[in-house]
Amino acid sequence: MPTTAPDAFGFAAPFDRTGTGSSKWARAGAPGVIAMGLADMDLPGPRAVAAALEHRARHRAYGYTVCDPAGRALVARWYRSRHGVEVDPDWVLLLPCGPRTALRLLLETVRPQAPVLFPTPEWGGFAQLCRAAGLPYRELPLTAGPDGYRLPDGPLPHPAGAVLLSSPHNPSARVWPAADLRALAERAAEVGALLVSDEVHGDLTHPGYVHPVAVATVDAALRPRVVTLNSVGKTFNCSGLPSSFALVPDPGLRARFTEVLAGFGLWEGGLLEQTVQRAALAEGGPWLDALLAHLAAARARLTGRLGPAVRSAPQSSYLLWLDAAALGLPPDGARRALLERCGLEASDGTEFGPGGRGALRLNYALPGPVLDAVLERLERLDRR
């Protein structure tokens, strides 16, 4: 639990990103619109990360940088302290690229000939990466229960080359139950598929929930058929400095992955990547505790206001998955309608595959005053 008040980190104060080249705010368009679309936070990141970058920048040589092996042990300690699981440091690959690029290179390493499987609705990057790699893919509809979406519980299509999953779920912020994740790993193995768990929101699990780290959750015999991808980018609001790490228990797959990376001119480590990762994982814990308290409070305010329009109560991260019709918005064109009526910019559900039609995704990682303004603007939906 946090020992420092959220205000100590500036979450309750205005935070202006003007002049920073923010993709999120550029996408929002017109002045006065509140950007709630792309998944990054309008909150100040950890001071430790800024201090580490400033300190490294003072040495005015920014040449090729070797990988610091201590970074692998640091990742393992992070998983032990934050998630209570044991990760072998030998499984860790410290990557000088973002998770999207890491996944693209992993697919290049595996080169599955059978279709790649992933749910719908789901992060749209999976489909985009499969198309870019020239790989066939198939989207599996998720069913919704009283607690939100459920993972597929029947046999998977056969054959399959890989199963991709965002865990926690993007867009609904659902934390997949550990038992369901284990069952999915078993079904993937039955059809000869590698399970790849994209866990970039996993450190943002809200109080009261436990994130199951895939490589540590599945049966030990299945670990060679599972890869976990993660990054400090989402957790510590530094996605503009691309970095990630992969947990790859299979030594043969690690070796092949490393070889493919080198073929694209990428090697473990990286100058700024390592600087950011070390500072975030070694010193960012108190900041993260305060952030989670801030996000949980924001979640409560928004879900209380929006009620039955919330398709799945968020259990992690800062994403809110909404039913457009329950908001009085047209299923087709809901994003534009919300923008015109309320001045709020969201992600349209169709960005998350066929299962996202008629939905909107809002990002509520906002400073206190902006969240107040969002709640005021949502009142306009009642005056239609």
C-alpha 34: how far from chain center: 21
- The packing angle between helices 125-133 and 99-110, to 10°, is 40
Domain positions in the chain: 6-47+285-383, 70-283
Does pTM surpass 0.85? yes
pLDDT of residue 384: 56
d(CA 146, CA 138): 26
φ, ψ for residue 29, nearest 5 deg = 90, -110
d(CA 54, CA 305): 41
pLDDT of residue 146: 82
pLDDT of residue 5: 54
- Return the CATH number of the domain spanning residue range 6-47+285-383: 3.90.1150.10
pLDDT of residue 2: 45
d(CA 291, CA 11): 8
Over its length of 384 residues, how does the chain's per-residue pLDDT go in tens digits? 444 554 789 999 999 898 899 999 998 888 899 999 999 999 999 999 999 999 999 999 999 999 999 999 999 999 999 999 999 999 999 999 999 999 999 999 999 989 999 999 999 999 999 999 999 999 999 998 888 999 988 899 999 999 999 999 999 999 999 999 999 999 999 999 999 999 999 999 999 999 999 999 999 999 999 999 999 999 999 999 999 999 999 999 999 999 999 999 999 999 999 999 999 999 999 999 999 999 999 999 999 999 999 999 999 999 999 999 999 999 999 999 999 999 999 999 999 999 999 999 999 999 999 999 999 999 999 865
Query: Torsion angle of alpha carbons 324, 328, 334, 337, nearest 10°?
Result: -150
Does residue 261 sit in helix, strand or coil? helix
Q: Pull the structure tokens for residue 329.
A: 């918005």
Q: Is the C-alpha dihedral spanning 4, 198, 118, 330 positive or negative?
A: positive
Radius of gyration of the chain (CA): 20
Partners of 338 in the beta sheet? none
Tell me which fold the domain 70-283 belongs to: Aspartate Aminotransferase; domain 2 (3.40.640)
pLDDT of residue 3: 46
pLDDT of residue 23: 93
Q: Which residues of 243-252 are buried (b: 16+ CB within 10 A; e: fewer)?
A: bbbbbbbbee
Q: What is the DSSP string of 165-217?
A: EESS-TTT-----HHHHHHHHHHHHHTTPEEEEE-TTGGGBPTT-----HHHH
